[in-house]
Amino acid sequence: MRKIIAAINMTLDGDCDHRAGIPDEEVHDHYTQLLQEGDTILYGRITYELMGFWQTLLKEPSGEKSMDDFARAIDKIPKIVFTHTLDHLDWDSARIAQRELKEEVLALKQEVGKPIFVGSRSLIIQLMKLGLVDELQLCIQPVISGGALPLFENLKDRTILKLIKTKTFSGGSVVLYYERG
């Protein structure tokens, strides 16, 4: 059975707005490697549209190796987008989910393959409520943003997690790896 891994950046105060963090070369390299370890990533519409930024670097590389490498990795991994408003996607490696979230994820878990990543705050919350997240990878960045977009908003049930690993970057970011306790 394939694992569902929720991986997201956030600030010390829990803000996961993509503009709040300060990803550096090490963080980009980390996520490039992570994407190479999976074979599917799930996005909601908003995050999918935000990730379109990386398509611009495919056409016009930045010259910063870590960012250009990440752009190639995110381009390559198949994406499933959960949306009720988009009818087509600009990325060749993306498709719109044909089933509701729970049904789609349960079917994906049964397939043979590598881990499935979840990179959207809204999907992480929904999948946590459904008990379908096998592992959380929280990249905590050393900044306090004021908490504009809390990751675990609207989760009311207590969830016990077990810390299984940590990874520390020289710039001060830390990835905390959790599984359900």
Convert the pLDDT of each residue in 75-84 to its tens digit. Answer: 999 999 999 9
Question: How many domains are there within the chain?
Answer: 1
- Backbone φ and ψ for 114, nearest 5 degrees, come out as -85, 175
d(CA 18, CA 34): 18
d(CA 110, CA 14): 32
Which whole-number Å values give the CA distances from 24 to 59, 71, 89, 168, in the listed order?
21, 14, 28, 13
Band of residue 35 on the pLDDT scale cut at 50, 70, 90: very high
The pTM score is 0.93
Asked whether residue 181 carries a pLDDT value surpassing 80, the answer given is no
**pLDDT per position as a tens digit, 107-116:** 999 999 999 9
Specify the CATH number for the domain of residue 99.
3.40.430.10
Compute the half-sphere exposure of residue 85: CA atoms within 13 Å on the CB side of its CA. 5
**pLDDT per position as a tens digit, 115-169:** 999 989 999 999 999 999 999 999 999 999 886 788 887 777 888 999 999 999 9
Range of the domain at 67: 4-180
d(CA 99, CA 35): 24
d(CA 52, CA 74): 10
- DSSP character at residue 116: E
**pLDDT per position as a tens digit, 87-108:** 999 999 999 999 999 999 999 9
